[in-house]
Amino acid sequence: MLVRLTYASRASHGISSQLIREILDSSQRNNPARGLTGILCCNADTFLQALEGPRNAINALYNRLTEDNRHKDLTILSYEEISVRRYADWSMGWAGAKQANRELFLKYSCSDRLDPFSMSAEQVNGLLLELSANVSTISAPIID
């Protein structure tokens, strides 16, 4: 059975390009063997991530995330059974909170800043779906 888990968290010590590169490298190295796919979006202090895959693998990964000291305020925004993956092309795609995405943030929330904590699950899913059209799996992230 496939599930999609979408969560938000705050960075304990800020988000740097190096941190994002480490997360992406680790995800792209480890996720295929676990059957996991997903997308990561972040800004200076907020992570937004959707993970897809077998329920036991998703649950195990989320439990590891709760113990990761780089995160705090981990909040599940949605957890659902799915029949097909949305992010099947990426072991982990990355969509930064760059200027070009601010229009989408405003479309789905009250601000042009990424704040998934103030968004409904429907708004977050819509945002991630539109962001996925511009996801990069290899370019170095730029954090604003």
Nearest to 116 by CA among 32, 43, 66: 43
Per-residue exposure over 111-120, b if at least 16 CB sit within 10 Å of its own CB, e if not: eeebebeebe
Answer for the pair 44, 144: CB distance below 8 angstroms, yes or no: yes
Does position 16 have pLDDT exceeding 80, yes or no?
no
CA distance readout (Å), 49 to 56, 113, 124? 18, 16, 10
Does position 143 have pLDDT exceeding 60, yes or no?
no
Q: Strand ranges (DSSP E) for the chain?
A: 2-11, 37-42, 46-54, 71-82, 93-96
Tell me, what amino acid is at 66? T
Q: What is the pLDDT of residue 96?
A: 63
Mean pLDDT, the chain, whole residue set? 84
How far is the C-alpha of 47 from the C-alpha of 32, rounded, in Å?
A: 21
What is the arithmetic mean of pLDDT over 16-35? 83
Task: Give this prediction's pTM.
Answer: 0.83
Tell me, what amino acid is at 16? S
In tens, the pLDDT along 57-106 reads 999 999 999 998 888 999 999 999 999 999 887 666 666 656 677 888 89
**Domains assigned to the chain:** 2-133 (3.30.70.100)
